[in-house]
Amino acid sequence: MILHFIFLEKEEERAKRQFEYEYVKKMAQFFKVWIKEKFGKDYEIQCDEMITKPTNIFQRIDTHTLIRDHEQRGKDIYHFYLTHFRPLWTDSTCDGYHAENFGMVLWQKPKEENDELYLAEKNCTAVSNVIINEQLRQMGRKKHTREVNDIWTKHLFEQLEFEQYGEDFKRTDGKPTFLTMDTRELNL
């Protein structure tokens, strides 16, 4: 199975956001290892950029546009869109959305250029949230959204630490390159 990460960038910001795209490519490889470890699934990883051009309000890219893109690319591929806009509707507390073989999350630009820790804290964690939801859905877990949202709330408000991983994709107590939700309560 293929997991295809698609990083949406506004045309006028593309040159300034190459550091982020490089991080996305590393993060995608990290999630290949992480999904295999946590869920026992081996994905082939792909990464692409989707350049968006300025349009009028009636032609803006939205969740519906991405779902149509997903269908055109092939519903059997797990497409994960890293967007510059929030989904209009979501039951996720991380500004993400998931459906069968489809994920999207608001990708937050770092306030300071080349801030990898910010990307891990704000984006990698949200990506893990949406991936966990989809993996649990595929496993047939009926109340997966509530389970994941409960853990996410603990991360945000009860000081539950995110799992920290280094550049080598292994758990670390040092400075992390990647952060994910704590999956211990999910009884995988």
Per-residue model confidence as pLDDT tens for the chain (188 residues): 999 999 999 989 999 999 999 999 999 999 999 999 999 999 999 999 998 876 665 556 777 777 887 888 888 999 999 998 877 666 667 788 888 999 999 999 999 989 999 999 999 999 999 999 999 999 999 899 899 999 999 999 999 999 999 999 999 999 999 999 999 989 87
Radius of gyration of the chain from its Cα atoms, rounded to whole angstroms: 16
The answer to whether the pTM exceeds 0.85 is yes
Which amino acid is located at 158 in the chain?
Answer: E
| Cα–Cα distance, 171 to 179 (Å, whole number) | 10
Count CB atoms within 10 A of the CB of residue 79.
Answer: 23
Q: Cα angle vertex 33, ends 97, 2, to 5°?
A: 55
Show Cβ contacts of residue 25 under 8 Å, excluding neighbours closer than 6 positions: 47
